[in-house]
Amino acid sequence: MRIALAQGVGPGGAAFEAAAREAARGGARLMVAPELSWTGYVLGRRAAELAEPADGPAAECAARVAAEYGLAVVYGWPERDGDTVRNAVRLVGPDGAARATYRKTHLYGEGERAAFTPGAEPVVQAELDGLVIGLLVCYDVEFPEAVRAHALAGTDVLAVPTALMRPYEAVPRLLVPARAYENGLFVAYANRCGPEGGYDFAGLSCLAGPDGEVAARAGAGPGVLFGDADPARIAGARAATPYLDDRRPDLYRNLTARSPRA
């Protein structure tokens, strides 16, 4: 599967559609845009004002774009459900139909915790072209448990819309490839880039493979990056490094009950 990472896309439908057009021209079957790609990341109190229901204008635009260009898309927006606002991402199929919606479970910092309610469903997946696509958002991928849960549930490609700022470049450079390697799956990590609201977003979007090799890596500027996710590499990597088979979950059961060290 050819995957496009739309680094720095947004806010709004025009930028999203332009990226989808470029992704389709490059032969992609899946395009992943950054976290909160529809609105921008630095929202503060505006998160509640800009929040839309799951079937709102952002969903309508994404469905139209996906169907018009014949590729699946992953985009992020602040989702309203009654009085609750969540940091959400949705996978839309190449036919324009919604396939999966995930709400960020690990909120980062006081700003996100003030604006959003965390999601409660750790593993959300959908099938695309014979591969299982899983969804996480930014900070989620930094928790090994979150990615391992996807691996155990059969995720082949983990799409991770992201808004990672400097000076945390170690996450895309080191941690994301490690997550892919230790779980034998692809991680499609699509970040924001450049200044916004006092932050400097790091870029460095990447497609990390199940063998730890990075098939594609962006720099610091905006653009659409392409990489290929070959399912044969998943089977080969898991056979060569059988972490999933060699686990000892009986030894780990008490870990979640332990308090962090003071």
Whether the ω angle into residue 167 lies within 30 degrees of 0, i.e. cis, is yes
Residue of 17, 35, 112, 142 marked active site: 35
Catalytic residue check, 104: yes
Catalytic residue check, 193: no
- Listed as own residue / partner, the contacts of 126-131 with beta carbons closer than 8 Å and 24 or more positions apart are 126/91, 126/93, 126/99, 126/100, 127/99, 128/1, 128/29, 128/30, 128/72, 128/91, 128/93, 128/99, 129/1, 129/29, 130/231, 131/1, 131/156, 131/157, 131/229, 131/231
Residue of 22, 52, 79, 138 marked active site: 138
Residue of 22, 52, 104, 206 marked active site: 104
User: For the chain, where are the alpha helices, taking DSSP H only?
Assistant: 13-25, 46-50, 57-69, 109-115, 144-152, 170, 176-183, 231-240, 243-246
Catalytic residue check, 196: no
**Residues known to be catalytic:** 35, 104, 138
